[in-house]
A and B are shown apart, each in its own frame.
Chain A
Amino acid sequence: MLEIRHLRKVYEGTGRSVEAIRDIDFTLAQGELVCLVGPSGCGKTTLLKCVAGLLRPSAGSVLLDGSPVTGPRPGLAIVFQEYGRSLYPWLRVGDNVELPLRHRKGLSRTERRTRAAEALATVGLAEAGRAYPWELSGGMQQRVAIARALAYRPEVLLMDEPFAAVDAQTRADLEDLVRRLWTERGMTVLFVTHDIDEAVYLGERVLVLSRSPTVVLEQIEVGLPVRRDQLTTRADPEFTRLRTRVLERIRGTVPDAAARDQ
């Protein structure tokens, strides 16, 4: 469904160029939930922006249903980390969710309203449509951003470290929301995070990324049960084994990177 083919991204600056991504190659099947995890500054956001069509890769390609992604397209919706800046303070919550739909052809006003209301209800904010984003807590604002992505009805949902800026309890709730959306709706999700526990808890598959210039170090299948729970899953020996493995892989890249720099 979503194929990333030998993606490379070099930022061309004045006098010097920075290779952010060297070679990333993977495929997301329909209905998969895949987590990308890597050390901070490893080009995760760059990668996601290339996938979303917001950045043009220097080489390689992104294919959605076999056709190349050259710009933003209706099949892809993205949830940013900075919910406070991604939601518009001048629009009410309902209007924020509805805005992307207003520029879709063939959607009547009533349909837009219904979709926005449904999406807000799905994330547990059925009553918040008339509020302004800044009247809500951080976690609720990120729920609104998720609702906006759901109302857009994308084929693939892209999430760029969406829960990095909320407190631990809210974060756990939002993680369970993503798991629920995936199990109930069979959505295809590409979830980027720097948090190893989060990646293992959420993903059916975890891709471990190296430091910049980024490559995929390893793909790990997560054999945890489909129904996950913050208490039992995190206490599961398999969970511990997986997170240790990911951590080792990420730590293991440090000497390599140091050797290369010299």
Chain B
Amino acid sequence: MSRTAPAGPRGAALGTAGLVAFAALWEAVTRTGLVDGRFLPPFSRTVAALGRELGDGTFWSALGDTLTGWALGLAIATAAGIAAGFVIALVPYLRRATASTIEFLRPIPSVALIPLVVLVYGTEIASVLVLVVYASFWQVLVQVLYGAQDVDPVAEETARAYGLGPWARLRHVLWPTALPYLMTGVRLAAAVALILAITAELVIGAPGLGNLIAVAQDSQAVPEMYALILVTGLLGVVVNVGARAVERRALAWHQSVRGEVPV
């Protein structure tokens, strides 16, 4: 829950300056011939190609496919992660029984499942969904489990002393305690889900931005390929900024967001 994003107008100005410097460096190394223009076209040509893409219906439908796979997969993974996390956290027996299994399954890279999902679902969007859900589910689950462990015994005893039943304690103590962890989990899962959606499209050929990148590469349309890569990068930034905004609103009470309050 660390706040890494620089705050305030000064931070925003610095961030913009960094991006401008990056674009200038890109332009410079390609214009001076330091990097072969066939493999990396200058920034200006890439942006021009991006402009052409934005006017093309194929691009927008691919973007739609990618975002659908991403959002749907993330939603399923989040719902499943929350449900499984709370059930496991509430039943000590389950927690002990599942700990080693989770530690075994979690590190398996989703990409390793590509042959399996191609066999089962072919190049349908279902293939993308399975990979996205698998990768992001663990991020959410593990954070929910951490969060559930963090319940303050005094907070829990207070709830019990004042007659709150198991459901009320789940709603009023466990859920708010786990929420900051859950938010972190969803933010991580959102980034992982995007990576997996693009990867799956690229490798399997399911419809989406990843597939367009593969097509651009096959047809030697190098500036278009970089333009699409830029788009995936921008998507990542938008997803992260969006997730942080949601976090700040939902966790206004939390130490990490409110900072120190002078009393």
Contacts and interface: CB of A to CB of B under 8 A. Distances in A.
Interface of A: 49, 52-54, 72-74, 76-78, 80, 82, 85-86, 88-90, 99-100, 102-104, 132, 134-138, 148, 152
A74 B163 contact: yes
Given A135-B263, A137-B263, A86 B158 contact: yes
A221 to B, nearest CB: 30
Ordered nearest first, which 6 A-B pairs have the shortest CB separation?
A100-B162, A85-B154, A90-B176, A86-B158, A90-B253, A78-B161
A80 B157 contact: yes
Contacts of B161: 52-54, 72, 76-78
Contacts of B253: 89-90, 132, 134
A80 B154 contact: yes
Contact of A54 (B157, B173, B176, B254): B157
Contacts of A90: 176, 179, 253-254
A138 B254 CA distance: 18
Nearest to A82: B154
Contact of A103 (B154, B163, B255, B261): B163
B152 interface: yes
B80 interface: no
Interface in B146-176: 152, 154-155, 157-158, 160-165, 168, 172-173, 176
Contacts of A74: 163
B258 interface: yes
Contacts of B155: 85-86, 88
A111 B154 CA distance: 27
Contact of B261 (A72, A82, A100, A135): A135
Contacts of A137: 263
Contacts of A49: 157
23 contacts: A52-B161, A53-B161, A54-B160, A54-B161, A73-B163, A77-B162, A80-B157, A82-B154, A85-B154, A85-B155, A86-B155, A88-B155, A88-B176, A90-B254, A99-B162, A100-B162, A103-B164, A103-B165, A103-B168, A104-B163, A132-B253, A135-B261, A152-B162
A49 B158 CA distance: 11
Interface in B120-154: 152, 154
A129 to B, nearest CB: 15
Interface in B51-107: none
Nearest to A71: B160
Contacts of B261: 134-135
B157 A99 contact: no
B258 A100 contact: no
Nearest to A84: B154
Nearest to B164: A103
Given A85-B155, A137-B263, A72 B172 contact: no
Contact of A136 (B158, B164, B263): B263
Given A72-B161, A103-B165, 12 more contacts: A54-B160, A72-B163, A78-B158, A78-B161, A80-B154, A85-B154, A85-B155, A89-B253, A90-B176, A102-B168, A103-B164, A103-B168
Candidate in B154, B160, B162, B258 with the most chain A CB atoms within 10 angstroms: B162
Contacts of B158: 78, 80, 86
Contacts of B173: 88
